[in-house]
Amino acid sequence: MIRFDRVTKIYPRSGGSAALRDVTLHIAKGEFAFLTGPSGAGKSTILKLLYMEERPTSGEVRISGYNSADISPRDISKLRRRLGIVFQDFRLLEDRTAEGNVAFALEVTGVPRPLIPGKVARALTAVGLASKATAYPRELSGGEQQRVAFARALVNDPFVLIADEPTGNLDERATRGIFQLLRDINASGTAVLMATHNLDLVRSSDYRCIEMNHGEVVYDSADAKRKAG
């Protein structure tokens, strides 16, 4: 479903040093995978290549039938409607309520108006925030704001959820809550790719772990299991 084939990425103003070096990866449908490693290891670059914010310098990224080598701007929009993307800093609109923020993702992608309220209510219920639908982001805790971001990411029924340090700004309790939410999302069939610094979280589960350093994959628990098996 997601395939990185010998991908190298060099940012234009990086002085020639590669953010990713010859990375080959495969993530299966419905899989849950952690992406770990120190800052600058290339985790965010992997995610950006997935939602085609960046293109590889060499090699190719294939995701759900789209190929980074020949994808058009229009197809990038189409692809993103089928992805759910969440960041450390939530990225909510301050002048919209929780439901307004979730509805926004539907409004700007041309979903018919009458369908929007139902979809929004379902997404907010799924993240456990149905009772705070009319609250503004400033009235919500960090964990709740991140749940709104998850509801927005889920409202279009994505086949993969891409989360870049989603618990980076949250305390221990909220982190546990979000992680449980991610498990639930995965259990319902959505693949999850989560970049994180939180090794406790990684160790507490037996999901696949891909560790990066200096733009290379240095450890992949899937490979380790295969070799052991």
Compute the Cα dihedral for 116, 136, 94, 197 and give only its sign. negative
What span, in angstroms and rounded, lies between the C-alpha atoms of 217 and 24? 8
Which is nearer to other proteins, 58 or 67 (by Cβ)? 67
The least distance separating other proteins from the CB of residue 94, rounded to whole angstroms, comes to: 9
Which is nearer to other proteins, 17 or 77 (by Cβ)? 77
What span, in angstroms and rounded, lies between the C-alpha atoms of 143 and 146? 5
The least distance separating other proteins from the CB of residue 113, rounded to whole angstroms, comes to: 9
Which is nearer to other proteins, 73 or 229 (by Cβ)? 73
The least distance separating other proteins from the CB of residue 202, rounded to whole angstroms, comes to: 26
Residue 218 backbone phi and psi in degrees, to 5: -100, -20
Which is nearer to other proteins, 85 or 127 (by Cβ)? 85
The least distance separating other proteins from the CB of residue 141, rounded to whole angstroms, comes to: 21
> Quick one: CA torsion of 29, 122, 91, 217, rounded to 10 degrees?
-10
Determine the Cα angle at 199 with ends 196 and 203, to 5°.
Answer: 120
Where does this chain bind other proteins (CB under 8 A)? 51, 73-74, 77-83, 85, 91, 93, 95, 104-105, 107-110, 152, 156
The least distance separating other proteins from the CB of residue 56, rounded to whole angstroms, comes to: 19
Which is nearer to other proteins, 19 or 116 (by Cβ)? 116
Strand 191-195: give its sheet, edge to edge. 83-87, 160-164, 191-195, 32-36, 208-213, 216-220
